[in-house]
């Protein structure tokens, strides 16, 4: 990339940094300098933007990093840039557009900045990043701490090869390795900070083993219905505890295969049983992230999906682990009626969580805490009334 491209990028780098400060994502002088200095376009020579093609199909439109002024400007917008698609699902639909499941991206800069601030790194800290992706975040960390203190792992060897090239073009050589980051980076010893930019269902044991007392972990915990970013402090007995952070955002899931997500297998769905009145609407569920987070800890084995019927009406549908399901329309005359199959108790639990949340004064997501005990048991809790929700122990 030529020096003149860097010069063309400078005003965009400055305006993105200013935008991130205004949004409250960058909160310190240190990160202001780093975001102003590390050119993002070096990390996204090829990226995909969500678009609708002329047939109304949602596609990923391919762009070349800084090929045109418009591309360059787009790279410095506060947006996620998808950089890889699962080759098994990716299909070319026209000259520049693909369908497919994203498997890597350059994270939304405001989310990245918020997480880096939440990580509270200090000079001399050794950091492990799980989910190298483009290498941009590893570069930001290298600029802040020095490349010798930064370690980053990605499951996809090709992503790692590209990330190394991007990092070198920006002048950084941190330790960047291919591997399953849910096992941490055992060769790297212990870390003062661990940041994950792919989600995990539980905090993996390896991350605790590779921590010191006082290590801070910032990661996205994915529960079936929702999930959220937590900032956990590891104590001298191997317990990690802390709050869901004010910074809100979600990441693609950690996977065990380099290029794709294995197909999910759920239980067989129960046949439709009937309808019931409901105390909570689908619109409520969609509107309130904090409530969805509560729902995900109350029903940690349930999933929430969008359902589109033949007439084009959209509903929210909850799937229970036993094949029960319940569906509520997002709009229209039947917003307070659910259709269900199997056990109606599934929706009753949704209503009970809604009533609890309303009675508690609709607490925000960052009032909830998350704890992983040294033996792997995990739970969420709400300190004001001592409520606690045990989460299933999943191997990660
Ligand atoms: C959102 S991207 C990371 C963005 C990146 N931090 C950046 O600055 O560009 C998520 C990355 O997690 C990686 N990933 C998925 N499962 C993983 C796993 N088990 N271990 C390590 N990386 C994983 C994906 O390959 C993908 O590159």
What CATH code is carried by the domain that includes residue 334? Answer: 3.30.160
Indicate the pTM of the whole model. 0.94
**pLDDT band at residue 341 using 50, 70 and 90 as cut-offs:** very high
- Domain final residue, candidates 35, 66, 101: 101
Q: Calculate how far, in angstroms, residue 394's C-alpha sits from the geometric centre of ligand 1.
A: 20
Residue 261 lies in a domain: no
Asked whether 254 lines ligand 1 (CB < 6 A), one says yes
Residue 298 lies in a domain: yes
The number of folded domains in the chain is 2
Sign of CA dihedral 215, 115, 73, 163: positive
Query: Rounded mean pLDDT of 52-60?
Result: 79
Residue 355 lies in a domain: yes
Q: Calculate how far, in angstroms, residue 42's C-alpha sits from the geometric centre of ligand 1.
A: 18
Residue 74 lies in a domain: yes
Asked whether 103 lines ligand 1 (CB < 6 A), one says yes
Q: HSE (CB half, 13 Å, CA atoms) of 392?
A: 14
Work out the percent of the chain whose per-residue pLDDT is above 70: 98
What is the Cα–Cα distance from 49 to 70, expressed in whole angstroms? 13
Residue 313 lies in a domain: yes
Asked whether 131 lines ligand 1 (CB < 6 A), one says yes
Question: What is the pLDDT at residue 268?
Answer: 92
**pLDDT band at residue 347 using 50, 70 and 90 as cut-offs:** very high
Residue 224 lies in a domain: no
What is the Cα–Cα distance from 219 to 26, expressed in whole angstroms? 18
Lowest mean pLDDT, pick from 220-224, 232-236, 392-396: 392-396
Asked whether 295 lines ligand 1 (CB < 6 A), one says no
Q: Calculate how far, in angstroms, residue 342's C-alpha sits from the geometric centre of ligand 1.
A: 37
Query: Rounded mean pLDDT of 197-203?
Result: 96
Residue 141 lies in a domain: no
Q: Calculate how far, in angstroms, residue 155's C-alpha sits from the geometric centre of ligand 1.
A: 7
Asked whether 181 lines ligand 1 (CB < 6 A), one says yes
Alpha-helical segments (H) within the chain: 3-22, 29-37, 69-75, 109-119, 136-145, 157-169, 205-209, 282-287, 289-298, 345-359
Residue 385 lies in a domain: no
Range of the structural domain that residue 302 is part of: 272-359
- Domain final residue, candidates 101, 136, 155: 101
């Amino acid at each position: 990339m030529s020096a003149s491209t860097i010069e063309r990028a400078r005003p965009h780098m400055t305006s993105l940094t200013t935008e991130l400060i205004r949004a409250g994502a960058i909160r310190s002088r240190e990160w202001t300098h780093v975001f102003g200095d590390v050119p993002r376009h070096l990390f996204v020579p090829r990226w995909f933007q969500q678009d609708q093609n002329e047939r109304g199909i949602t596609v990923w439109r391919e762009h070349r990093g800084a090929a045109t002024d418009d591309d360059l400007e787009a790279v410095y917008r506060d947006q996620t840039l998808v950089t890889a698609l699962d080759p098994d699902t990716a299909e070319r639909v026209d000259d520049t557009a693909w369908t497919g499941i994203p498997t890597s991206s350059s994270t939304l800069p405001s989310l990245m900045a918020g997480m880096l601030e939440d990580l509270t790194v200090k000079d001399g800290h050794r950091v492990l990043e799980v989910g190298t992706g483009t290498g941009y975040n590893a570069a930001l960390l290298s600029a802040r701490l020095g490349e010798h203190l930064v370690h980053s792992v990605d499951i996809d060897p090709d992503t790692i090869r590209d990330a190394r090239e991007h990092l070198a073009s920006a002048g950084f050589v941190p330790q960047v390795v291919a591997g399953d980051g849910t096992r941490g980076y055992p060769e790297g010893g212990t870390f003062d900070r661990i940041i994950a930019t792919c989600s995990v269902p539980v905090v993996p044991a390896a991350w605790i083993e590779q921590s010191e007392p006082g290590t801070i972990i910032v990661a996205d915990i994915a529960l079936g219905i929702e999930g959220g970013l937590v900032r956990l402090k590891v104590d001298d007995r191997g317990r990690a505890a802390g709050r869901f952070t004010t910074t809100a955002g979600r990441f693609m899931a950690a996977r065990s295969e380099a290029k794709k997500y294995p197909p999910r297998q759920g239980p067989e769905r129960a046949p439709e049983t009937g309808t019931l009145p409901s105390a909570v609407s689908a619109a409520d569920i969609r509107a309130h992230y904090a409530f969805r987070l509560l729902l995900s800890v109350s029903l940690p084995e349930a999933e929430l999906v969008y359902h589109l019927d033949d007439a084009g009406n959209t509903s929210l549908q909850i799937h229970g682990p036993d094949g029960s399901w319940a569906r509520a329309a997002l709009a229209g005359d039947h917003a307070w009626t659910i259709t269900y199959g199997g056990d109606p108790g599934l929706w009753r639990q949704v209503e009970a969580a809604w009533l609890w949340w309303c009675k508690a004064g609709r607490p925000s997501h960052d009032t909830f805490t998350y704890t992983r005990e040294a033996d792997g048991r995990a739970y969420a809790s709400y300190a004001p009334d001592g409520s606690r929700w045990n989460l299933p122990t999943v191997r990660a």
